[in-house]
Amino acid sequence: MLDQAITSVLVGGALSLVMSVPLVIHQYRRFGRLSAGRLAWTVLTVIYLTALIAYTLFPLPAMTEAFCAGRSREFLLNPVTYFADMARHLAGMSPMEALASWDVRQMVLNVALFVPLGLICREFMGWGPLRSLVTGFGVSLFIELTQFTGNWGLAPCPYRIADINDLMTNTAGTLVGIGIAALTPRLVADAGHLAARRGEARPVTRARRWLGMALDGIYWSWAFLLGMACGVVAWTGLHGLPMNARLDYGNEIQRWGLVGAVAAEFVIIAVPALVGSGASLGQRTVYLRPAPASRLRLVARAMVVGGAMCLVSNLQPVMTSLWTIAAVASVWFDTRGISGLITGCRIIDARSLDGEPARPAEEQADSGPAGGGGLVSLASRGDPASS
């Protein structure tokens, strides 16, 4: 049981990490900001779903012919049988022994396993009690049918018993979760409330600038990998795929891939500077943009950090790393960053009026390490329901 819990946390955490960038992009495009509370609930939901799979389907037994010969496909539909067996097993036990018995622990686990689902449906998804309860029943029914069919025919034979009592206790657990959600204050901002305020301009904080930079780095990395693949494909298209191509033409293939990677990275840095507000893709994601400036200054701003990194990263990787660190660190002192300081471009919220001045973190009343506007405060400022 402990192994399943550890596996759920590790697998769920890994899945959440893989999903982190799409989640951040989704939240900014839907809500206009990052909601730390909803992000945390999403991570917990992923971990919970992996736990649900781990506890209901694993571990898999050794499904030999002898094992499968002793298994039958059966759905226990008589709820009385379960409680009759429990009464027989607990006969003669003291109350403490009965509470510590496997029969009682199994029943409590079946209830407890679905309590988080009731909380997720009510607290995070914002669904009504009936819809949440039906969801719990439906998820439990799906699990029981999965066990009844031997993982829908993927397993050689059913290895767990489908039982209507599990369906009842799981649904009861969902109901308990719904009740807990009704008795406790709401701990996460409502999606509708956040979406309604999507168009509001918000302060330009250090944390928000760093998040935009991180997203830019991810976008550039994706472009680099895609460009490298295109370069290799282009070489293959011109030369075919000769025998031992990797050994005999390795350096040539690598050069083509590198040229394609740098070209793709340069395009994804330069083109946004030539279009619309001139903001980078990462800045656009988090609703930031340079204050109105000439197109030449906007292109120069993009080239100061992104362009320089793209052009010299393979020739001077150490210098590129130092320049990247300097660019990130410069935001601590001024939210314009190195590119803005050199080119004279201010960074403002993309939803603010053209003439509205930037509101950097250092101008906020709270001068904490994130300028009073870290990721948590971005999710909660002006919204008592967020966390």
Q: What is the 3-state secondary structure (H, E, C) of 75-106?
A: EECCHHHHHHHHHHHHCCCCHHHHHHCHHHHH
Higher pLDDT: 186 or 144? It is 144
Nearby residues of 164 by Cβ (< 8 Å), 6 or more positions away: 75, 76, 77, 78, 79, 144
pLDDT over threshold 60, residue 385: no
Decide if pLDDT at 74 tops 50.
Answer: yes
Q: How confident is the model at residue 358 (pLDDT cuts 50, 70, 90)?
A: very low
Identify whether the C-beta of residue 259 lies closer than 8 Å to the C-beta of residue 231: yes
- What amino acid is encoded at 360 in this protein? P
Sign of the Cα pseudo-torsion (9, 14, 18, 24, in order): positive
pLDDT score for 186: 82
Q: Would you say residue 115 has pLDDT above 70?
A: yes
User: Rounded CA gap, 120 and 31, in Å?
Assistant: 20
Nearest to 140 by CA among 105, 106, 165, 177: 165
Across the range 251-275, mean pLDDT stands at 90
pLDDT bracket for residue 145 (50, 70, 90): very high
Rounded to the nearest integer, the mean pLDDT of the chain is 84
Q: Looking at residue 246, what is its pLDDT?
A: 62
**79-90 and 164-183 helices, crossing angle to 10°:** 90
Q: What is the pLDDT of residue 354?
A: 57
Instruction: Kindly indicate the confidence band of residue 59, based on its pLDDT and cuts at 50, 70 and 90.
Output: confident
Helix (H) or strand (E) holding 288: strand 288-290
Q: Is the confidence at residue 231, as pLDDT, over 70?
A: yes
Cβ distance 361 to 372 under 8 Å?
Answer: yes
Rounded distance between C-alpha atoms, residue 176 and residue 173, angstroms = 5
Question: Average pLDDT of 310-328?
Answer: 82
Which tokens sit at 31?
């809500």
Task: With a cut of 50, say whether residue 364 has pLDDT above it.
Answer: no
